Structure 1
Amino acid sequence: MDLLARATAVVGGTMVLLRRMNAPKEPAVGTTPAIPNAKKQGIMTLKMPTGKGWSEGQTPKAAPGLKVNAFARDLKHPRWIEVLPNGDVLVAEALQEAGPPKNLLDRAAQATMRRARALGHSANRITLWRDEDGDGVAERREVFVENQRQPFGMALAGSTFYVGNTDGIVAFDYEDGATSLKGEGRRLVEFKPGGHWTRSLLLSPDGTKLYAGVGSLTNIADEGMETEEGRAAIWEMDIASEKARVLASGLRNPVGLAFEPTTGALWTVVNERDGLGDETPPDYLTSVKEGGFYGWPYCYWGQIVDDRVPQDASLVARAIRPDYALGGHTASLGLCWVPEGTLPGFPAGMAIGQHGSWNRSTLSGYKLIFVPFEGGRPSGSPRDILTGFLADDESVSYGRPVGVAVGPDGKSLLMADDVGDVIWRVTGA
């Protein structure tokens, strides 16, 4: 960290200590969260643990009745997981890359993110992992496709494999059992790169539509709404025609996508705006309505106005309140539907990989959680599946959860850990 960045970090650290004294005691979680009034931070709180990784023999802590093992190791910033019908496990390895810093705070943030292993050179590849003997540990590793632009989401529809790069959706021909893709692929949809760079993908249950999460460029449309066109949205692409459109908007950074099978509704987890306090506003899990508008950047959690933003009263009036709060700045990224019977002691519901906060005085997230569902809706408090990613004093992180998927056996969960460079596997004890 250079002197200017260090000086900015010191100021930010002082602000963290002051804000910690007044930090909310309870997280804003559930269907009726207690969301504190907004408090403009001025100098943004900047706090991230040093990315350390796991020591030999060290693992996350599994909830009672569960156990965890490393399915795959020695990756380079694994972010997202896709399990193919034949049991092969694909992992997208990519990392945020630094652009030119715009100011002192930006320089300090970049230095902090590098220390946290959240910024650097991106591998830009997808690797294939195959557990050939069925023991829960992958023995075979292949480069499935490389030289992509920050690949993230993946989906297979028939003999076509889709990759969600930061600048668009690319399609490749695929043969069952193949360990690599051939050719450069066909660009089908273009997205604007930069800012929130992840592009998650999810195929509809009937195989006719492909959905993509596209985050905003900035925190609160700081560079104007023209730069945010087509962003902060979930896109829908028709597989047959390959035409795409915005399905829902006002979603600051929608990442994980999953279908709830009882109602057939599409759900997403969304990272909310920064700079208003430790629990304000909370990140959230919500169903997605066609044509729905969810508030960003004008308001949050329904009609709570963010007065830092030039307003549009008509959009505020129709903003949809999210279904379920996940706590402030948890950076909830991974999402998958977990059928009943997948993990012992857990009903049906959603598993959520919480990457962890960077801009609050007391850290949040840094765990894999579960939200139970009943009748197509969240039905209770979140439960921990994996914890132990963060040191007790918050100084270091051993790992950070990202993507999550049901394992090939249907009796396990796989979770990408982009600081530990591991794919963890969770099963019954």
Structure 2
Amino acid sequence: MDLMGKATEIVGGIMVGLRRAHSPKVQAIGPEPAIPDPKAQGIMTLKMPSAKGWAPGHLPTTAPGLKVNAFASGLDHPRWIEVLPNGDVLVAEACEEPGPPKSFMDRAAQATMRRAGALVRSANRITLWRDEDGDGVAETRHVFIEGQHQPFGMALVGNTFYIGNTDGIVAFPYEEGATSLTGEGRKLVSFKPHGHWTRSLIASPDGTKIYAGVGSLSNIGDQGMEAEEGRAAIWEMDIASGQSRIFASGLRNAVGTAWEPVTGKLWTVVNERDGLGDETPPDYLTSVQDGGFYGWPYCWWGQNVDERVSQDPALVARAITPDYALGGHTASLGLCWMPEGTLSGFGEGMVIGQHGSWNRSILSGYRLIFVPFRDGRPDGAPRDILSGFLSPDEKFSYGRPVGVTVGADGKSLLMADDVGDIIWRVTAA
């Protein structure tokens, strides 16, 4: 461990110890969460378990009535999954590539991330996995495309395959059954890289538009709002014209997106700001309105003003309160709609991959959860689908959930684990 890493571990341990006794005992969850008052931390809490991975025979814990197996293993930081119409499973393998640290806190945060295995060389590729005999385990692997710029989101519309690189959306021709993409691809939209680097993609149900999540550069506009232009937003690209625009804004880091079929609304999960407490403000799941503004960086959970930020009262006044709180710093990244009948014992609702916290005294997230829906709205408390990714003493993470999607058979879930380097498959027991 380098000197910065050791210093961070010591200082972080002191701050965690001081704050742990005062950490909220109940998570801020649901449509009307109990959110503790904000308290600026000064020196931010830095706590992340060391990446350990899974020993042979060691599996995540499933909800009663379910079982889990490794669909694919030996990956390099798998982050996002796309299932093609023919059943092929595509996996984006990439991770953060940090720029030079600009402050002590940057250095400390990077040292914490390295210990967790989150800052390593990015594979920058998409691999294709094929389960030819239908037994729930992929037998063949192909490099679908490599040499990309932190690829993450993927979408297939007709015979065109779209990739969400950190610096923009690229399109390639695709033929059904192909095991690789060829050519350079066409750059359709450019995004600013760095900061929150993931670029999730989802096509509209009618195949006319692509939506992309573009996270902020910083925590609360620390480098000025000019640097944040075009960020903290969900973008919409019209496929026919190639024109793009910001669809919704004020979303600090909107990652996974999903369509809710009853109302036809787009939903997303958002990672909120740091430095105001273990449970303040909560990450959230919300429907997304065209032209809607959701508060970042000026306020959170409606009109709760962040006193650390130079204010814009007009934007604060029109900030939309999110639909459903997911708890503070859970790093909810993956999102998919799960129809009723997919998993035994679960109805319809949203499935969320919670990557897990690194900046609170008692860790949160590190699980795959289900939020039940009724009539197009969340309806009830979240339930675990997979857990056990974190050691009981919080020193090690065996895995960290990221992207999730329904399997080609309609009776399973596939989830990317970027510490275990595994794609997990969940089915009825």
Shift of residue 273 of structure 1? 0.1
Taking the aligned partners of 1:75 and 1:299, their CA distance within structure 2 comes to 39
Query: Which secondary structure does the structure 2 equivalent of 1:112 belong to?
Result: helix
Q: Which residue number corresponds to residue 290 of structure 2?
A: 290
Query: Which secondary structure does the structure 2 equivalent of 1:297 belong to?
Result: coil
TM-score (norm 2): 0.99
Query: Which secondary structure does the structure 2 equivalent of 1:228 belong to?
Result: coil
- Describe how 1:268-283 pairs up with structure 2 within 5 A: 268-283=268-283
Q: 2:38–2:280: 8 Å Cα contact kept in structure 1?
A: yes
Shift of residue 11 of structure 1? 1.9
Instruction: Confirm or deny that 1:406 pairs with 2:421.
Output: no
Shift of residue 104 of structure 1? 2.5
Q: Which residue number corresponds to residue 123 of structure 2?
A: 123
Q: 2:98–2:194: 8 Å Cα contact kept in structure 1?
A: no
Instruction: Confirm or deny that 1:350 pairs with 2:350.
Output: yes
- Describe how 1:159-198 pairs up with structure 2 within 5 A: 159-198=159-198
Q: 1:8–1:104: 8 Å Cα contact kept in structure 2?
A: no
Matching residue's letter, 2:355: H
Deviations 1:254-286 (A, max 9, x none): 000000000000000000000000000000000
Q: Which residue number corresponds to residue 305 of structure 1?
A: 305
Q: 2:284–2:323: 8 Å Cα contact kept in structure 1?
A: yes
Q: 2:234–2:254: 8 Å Cα contact kept in structure 1?
A: yes
Taking the aligned partners of 1:152 and 1:5, their CA distance within structure 2 comes to 28
Matching residue's letter, 1:158: G
Structure 1 stretches (4+) deviating beyond 4 angstroms? none
Matching residue's letter, 1:71: F
Query: Which secondary structure does the structure 2 equivalent of 1:416 belong to?
Result: strand
Q: Which residue number corresponds to residue 327 of structure 1?
A: 327
Taking the aligned partners of 2:158 and 2:17, their CA distance within structure 1 comes to 54
Matching residue's letter, 2:420: G
Deviations 1:9-55 (A, max 9, x none): 32222111110010001000000000000011100100000000000
Deviations 1:336-359 (A, max 9, x none): 000000001101000000000000
Shift of residue 90 of structure 1? 0.2
Q: 2:401–2:418: 8 Å Cα contact kept in structure 1?
A: yes
Shift of residue 5 of structure 1? 4.2
Q: 2:196–2:218: 8 Å Cα contact kept in structure 1?
A: yes
- Describe how 1:94-105 pairs up with structure 2 within 5 A: 94-105=94-105
Residue identity over aligned pairs, in percent, reads: 77
Taking the aligned partners of 1:417 and 1:324, their CA distance within structure 2 comes to 24
Taking the aligned partners of 2:5 and 2:71, their CA distance within structure 1 comes to 38
Taking the aligned partners of 2:263 and 2:401, their CA distance within structure 1 comes to 28
Query: Which secondary structure does the structure 1 equivalent of 2:226 belong to?
Result: helix
Taking the aligned partners of 1:222 and 1:13, their CA distance within structure 2 comes to 25
Taking the aligned partners of 2:160 and 2:192, their CA distance within structure 1 comes to 23
Taking the aligned partners of 2:115 and 2:161, their CA distance within structure 1 comes to 35
Query: Which secondary structure does the structure 1 equivalent of 2:227 belong to?
Result: helix
- Describe how 1:5-404 pairs up with structure 2 within 5 A: 5-404=5-404
Q: 1:98–1:120: 8 Å Cα contact kept in structure 2?
A: no
**Unaligned ranges ≥5, structure 1:** none
Matching residue's letter, 1:236: E
TM-score (norm 1): 0.99
Further displaced range: 158-167 or 95-104: 95-104
Q: Which residue number corresponds to residue 418 of structure 1?
A: 418
**Unaligned ranges ≥5, structure 2:** none
